[in-house]
Structure formats: structure tokens, C-alpha cells
Amino acid sequence: MLLSPISHPLHATVRVPGSKSLTNRALIIAALANGVTTIHNALESDDSAQCVESLQRLGFVVGAKHASPRSEAERDASPLRVVGLSGHIPSSHAELFVGNAGTAARFLTAMLTLGHGEYIVDGDARMRERPIGDLVDALTQLGANIQPNYQSHSASLQGLSLPITGHQLCLPLKVIASGLKGGVTRVTGDISSQFLSGLLIAAPYAQSPIEIILKNDLNSKPYVDMTIAVMKDFGVEVEREGYSRFLIAPQCYKAQPEFMIESDASAASYFFAAPAIVSGTVRVENVSRDSKQGDIAFLDVLQKMGCEVTEGNDFITVGAQHAAPLQGVDVDMRDIPDTAQTLAAIAPFANSPTTIRGIASARVKETDRVAAMCNELRRVGVTVEEYDDGLKIYPCDKIQSATIQTYNDHRMAMAFALIGLRAEGITIDNPSCVSKTFPNYFEVLESLRI
């Protein structure tokens, strides 16, 4: 997809889809709850579809509340109806495919330990490279029986001695479930916060209380806060000591007749950032600084760079003017790593270098995002220094024409498309990869021209 620069200051209003992170948490918690939950503004994308399909394969009733044919606008507004079964998993055997959805892979693996039977969890080629061993170790400490599914994984097991444990373990997995006993478990927090979130979501249905102790510092802390907030929305309380210790007593999630999903703050970041590149203003609706989503803090980064942020009850407007040059920043993004690519895309237009730190965990996302950002910035002529946990980006007076490689990573496509709003000759390879979380992204991006 060849992008055309926008030659005038922006004056646009957009709306982005529902939060992927909130949608997948709500889907699984609703399935574990004690009745019917109707989820509004749920994300419709590859990631959420794979979560829905997995729940359906497990025997849960999950579907649109209105099944009649609908227009695109009506489809996006249709609520999802989830029939929860109080922690019971209907099917005793199922094979689940999660694509490259990390939340679905980690949350479903923990959830399946509550069942009774044998389940397979598998994903695409990249998901088979993304670590899950620390979650398996933590669940094993609580009495779970989870094994590598050797038959499905034979090709990727070549050259490795068995059994595979710890960081080496990836999908596919076989969960041999007979309920989760409970007790004390220790889990790492520096690879993925989804390990801790998966444990928390499943914990209320263990046979005895669960105590979770973090073995090291936790990355992406706001995502754990989000998990606990959604659990509380469904009636489950978590005792905690900061981010080091969590205690969950046996409880039951209470179905919510109406549960509203916020618009995705990570997706909103691209439109918050657009004025920093083109100038003008963009208003994003159905978002608030009071969001459960940690990525709303990306607004603080933009303010440090010189952008103006205006907040309303259900919208946020970001503005920037060419007369006030964009300033480079030095920022630790360990708590908001999904917005690092957004910052990387606007950093070359600043008047001083930008340093992004604390994102070592981004190397085990949909791609090695640190390496990918460095590769693609260099491709368009930007000078970059790569570190183990981040990168330093220097201002660039002349962006070169190039085809941006996306590595099948939706965030690479969405973030680096922003460069094409100002620079000539920017082409996005494999733009369809945005279907993972934002299927109509380029349509919304194009609306900025109006």
C-alpha cells in the first residue's frame, strides 16, 4: 500500500475499535461467570475472533446478540452474548488454535487447568516461538499437568533435549486437566505480564486459595491493573501487596448484564500521534484519561514532546503546530511497550534525539520489535542506535522512499504508516496484517484527509 502525504494541517475526528486487551479479558471472565453477560463495543478482529472460536470449541455459547444481517456500522455496534457456566468447562476434549494472539494463548492455557479432560493449545509459526514456559511452571506449582504436545511440535523440537522447561517451552501444549488445586506459586514478571494475568483470571476457581509471588520486577504493570479491574467488575476481589504478591480466595465471577469495552488506547495512539507529524488536531472519541488501559499514558509522552492535549468526558484531542518544533524525549516505556513503535515513527521528525528504554519484552512480541524498528527506520534513512532494551533515534531532515517491512506485525504496519502522512514514497508491505486488532485501520487513517 503506497501512502500519500497530507499537505494540510489536520482537523479530524475519529473513533477506534474496542480494546483488544479488555475484550479478551472480558470474554474469558464472562465465560467463567455465573450467567449471561452482554459485552458492548467488543473488538472484532483476528485476535478476538480466535478467542471467541476457542471458547466455542470448549462448548461455551458465545455470539452476537443479534444474528440478522447487518451493515458494517451495525456489525461493529452489535453486542456479544456470553453464557457463563460458573467455572465449568463443558467440553472434555478440544483443540484450540489461537493464531498469534498472546492474550488468548496465555489466558486460555490457565483457564483450561480448571477443566476435566485433555486440551491442545496451538498457534501460528510466530506463536510457536513466543515463550510460555514460565506460565506453565507457575501452573504446575499449583497442581496443573501441562506438557509439550510433541507430535504437533516435532519440527520445532529438533535439536532440543526433552523435556523442555522454562523459557524454551512454547506452543503447542497439551493440558491434562483435573481442576486446579491451588497453593503458592512463583512466576516471572519480566517476560510477559500476561503470565500473571492468566494466573489471576483462573485463580478464583481453584480448589483452595492461590498466592502468587513475583520472582522479579513486573513489566507492563498497567495490564495487570486492568486484569484486576475487570475481575472486580465481575465481582472478584484480589488482595495484593503492590506488584510483588497477590492472594485470591475461591470465588465466583458474577455475570454482568451489560459490560462496556473502552475504545482501544493502543490503537488511539496512532491518531494521537498524527498531529505531531502533520500538525493540526485530531479528536479521538470514546476514550478518557480515566481509562483502565495503561497505554493512555502515551499522551504524557506527546505532551513532553510539545503536543497539546485537551480532555473531554468521552474524547481526547491532541494538537501540534509546525511553528512549535517537536522535541525529542528520553523515556522508559516498560509499562507501555505497545506504543513504542508509535513513538519510533514520529521521533525522526523531532528536533533532538529520542531514546526509548525498558522494552526488552518487545523482542518476544509478534516479532522482535526492537530489531524491527531499527531495521525499518534505517530503511527510510534514519540514524538509529540499538540497545538490548530499546533504541535511540536521531532527527532526519530527509526521509527516503522505501517499502516498510511489517514482519506480519500489526503494530509495525500501523505505526510506520504514520511516516507516510508526511514523507513521499512510503509503501507498507502486507498491510492486511492490521486485521489482528484493527481491520479498518487504513480506512480510518484515510479519513484524516477530510
How confident is the model over 362-380, as pLDDT tens digits? 999 999 999 999 999 999 9
Residues 30-81 have pLDDT tens digits of 999 999 999 999 999 999 999 999 999 999 999 987 544 444 444 445 899 9
Residue for cell digits 506480519? Answer: 408
The enclosing H or E element of 156 equals helix 150-157
- The beta-strand segments (E) located in 77-206 are 80-83, 93-97, 116-122, 146-148, 173-178, 183-187
CA distance 261 to 45: 14
- Locate the domains of the chain by residue range: 10-17+265-449, 20-247
The pLDDT confidence band at residue 162, using thresholds 50, 70 and 90, is very low
Inter-residue contact 366 to 398 (CB < 8 Å):
no
Q: 318 by DSSP, 3-state: which?
A: strand
In the sheet with 173-178, reading across from the earlier edge strand, the strands are 93-97, 116-122, 173-178, 146-148
CA distance 390 to 384: 10
CA distance 183 to 204: 12
413-441 burial code (b ≥16 CB/10 A, e <16): bbbbbbbbbbbeebebbbbebbbbbbbbb
* Nine-digit cell string for 71: 451493515
The mean pLDDT of the chain is: 93
Q: Is there a catalytic annotation at residue 338?
A: yes
pTM above 0.75, yes or no: yes
CA distance 259 to 99: 26
Same fold, 10-17+265-449 and 20-247: yes
Residues in the chain: 450
CATH number of 20-247: 3.65.10.10
Give the per-residue SS3 of 177-202: EECCCCEEEEECCCCCHHHHHHHHHH
User: Nearest Cα to 447, choosing from 421, 415, 408?
Assistant: 421
**∠ Cα 152 148 137 (to 5°):** 155
Dihedrals phi, psi of 426, to nearest 5 degrees: -95, 120
Residue 161 reports pLDDT greater than 70: no
Residues 204-247 have pLDDT tens digits of 999 999 999 999 999 999 999 999 999 999 999 999 999 999 99
Instruction: Kindly state the percentage of the chain with pLDDT values over 90.
Output: 91
| Model pLDDT, residue 120 | 97
Instruction: Kindly state the percentage of the chain with pLDDT values over 70.
Output: 93
Which residues are paired to 349 by β-bridges? none
In order of 256, 274, 342, 375, 409, the CA distances from 90 in angstroms are: 21, 46, 41, 47, 34
| Model pLDDT, residue 167 | 53
Distance between the two ends of the chain, CA-based, in angstroms? 20
Average pLDDT over residues 257-283: 97
| Model pLDDT, residue 154 | 40
| Model pLDDT, residue 322 | 78
Of 122, 338, 368, 397, which one is the catalytic site residue? 338
| Model pLDDT, residue 396 | 97
Amino acid identity, residue 150? Y
| Model pLDDT, residue 65 | 73
CATH architecture of 10-17+265-449: Alpha-beta prism (3.65)
Residue ranges of alpha helices (H) inside 207-359 are 221-233, 265-278, 298-304, 340-346
CA distance 166 to 187: 11
